[in-house]
Structure 1
């Protein structure tokens, strides 16, 4: 418990900060290549203020990283990536960070938007991630298919979208969800509106989307 309390979270504003390189090493080790934005692009967006890189340090060692992306003209902030160094996993660090960020979100009347892999019985980690976010109060967009485009080669990834803390309404209009998906593809992933994956996602969105 003392080790958990000793974690210090702070935002990193430049790619040249000493904590940036070890944080991005954790990121590259934690996510498959198809889900990674290349490091030079991440560094560029940190320097431009587009990405908010957060790190957790124990003493001088970086043991945790997260990348947040405030969506333009929106009350949603995309939690793009969150990862812990293998030696520091299962110590509650992710939960501690998540609760700290959620408190900041509440104060600013903003909400985290989460991209979570669709649970797969053959992949217990995907189930644990969903359970982790649900325990912390996340609500998932029901019956919304979301396909993460391949970012560095490879295959697209089926994902779920969730919002935390619990949103101010229990439903979202279908038009808003369609607009959100278009914004994610265009603004975050630099894909055109006629992207075939986006069109697949848009075609079956219900007129009212429940948050469950």
Structure 2
């Protein structure tokens, strides 16, 4: 029987990966009350910000209750054509390709995130991030991303990348708020890059934009560097290569000079 944490959950098994042991130690983040210091934009997004502790840690045991609860939150939070099958996540976690993080508050799993470190360790992709329905708009997503962004140096990645649905296609308020939320954390949009997410199920792709947080706080990227990054993402995450229509369409949208805004 696996060792138990004091709250009754099994301890996540220690594994090996590009993070060393850093993510294998539970991290307790005090979500501080910052309402008075927040910008107006942040107040709009975090109107129900709560001051409760949350415990962030990695789960490597795919037979654990934590894995089951994390994948339940995941399935409830993303449409089918954007979701990897649970079996694929199981395989990624067991193989060390993906890192499943959870947030626990008051003995309940309230957040999940699937992180993907690129093979050359140049970039960490926050592949999925979701909060349980009843805990949304409480500052959990902000606390988790701050937890990751503040540790860029410790994790030895040059940059952290996030994909979000393109909010400019339909001026969707929720998507625009999501973009504003990530930018409020210091992430920058790769302007002009039309990123087509290959469908995991069905035939319809999803158009995304890319956001990056880099240690050097650059204001632009060379188009060739972005093309190389996209080729790497498509190959490692989606098993799609340069003869793939979605990849060639995305590459064709990348200008020679990519402003970060």
Q: Same fold (TM over 0.5)?
A: yes
Structure 1 residue 161 and structure 2 residue 223: aligned? no
Report the secondary structure of 1:155's partner residue. coil
- The answer for the alignment partner of 2:19 in structure 1 is none
Structure 1 residue 71 and structure 2 residue 109: aligned? no
Structure 2 gaps of 5+ residues are: 1-30, 33-49
Report the secondary structure of 2:147's partner residue. helix
* Cα shift at 1:182: 1.0
* Count of residue correspondences: 212
Report the secondary structure of 2:65's partner residue. coil
- The answer for the alignment partner of 2:87 in structure 1 is 40
* Cα shift at 1:106: 3.2
TM-score, length-normalised on structure 2?
0.77
Report the secondary structure of 2:61's partner residue. coil
Bigger RCO of structures 1 and 2 (CA < 8 A, at least 6 apart): 1
Cα displacement string for residues 108-167 of structure 1 (whole angstroms, at most 9, x for unaligned residues):
342210101111445322111101101111011111110001012241001001112564
Provide the C-alpha distance between the structure 2 equivalents of 1:166 and 1:141, rounded to a whole number of angstroms.
16
Structure 1 gaps of 5+ residues are: none
Q: Is the contact made by 2:165 and 2:209 (CA closer than 8 Å) also made in structure 1?
A: yes
Structure 1 residue 83 and structure 2 residue 130: aligned? yes
Provide the C-alpha distance between the structure 2 equivalents of 1:109 and 1:187, rounded to a whole number of angstroms.
19
Query: Greater CA radius of gyration, 1 or 2?
Result: 2
Q: Relative to structure 2, which stretch is displaced further, 119-128 or 194-203?
A: 119-128
- The answer for the alignment partner of 1:134 in structure 2 is 183
- The answer for the alignment partner of 1:184 in structure 2 is 233
- The answer for the alignment partner of 1:93 in structure 2 is 140
Provide the C-alpha distance between the structure 2 equivalents of 1:101 and 1:47, rounded to a whole number of angstroms.
22
- The answer for the alignment partner of 2:165 in structure 1 is 117
TM-score, length-normalised on structure 1?
0.93
- Relative to structure 1, the CA distance from residue 173 to residue 122 in structure 2 (aligned partners, 3 Å threshold; closer, same or farther) is closer
Q: Is the contact made by 2:102 and 2:110 (CA closer than 8 Å) also made in structure 1?
A: yes
Provide the C-alpha distance between the structure 2 equivalents of 1:122 and 1:30, rounded to a whole number of angstroms.
21
- The answer for the alignment partner of 2:194 in structure 1 is 145
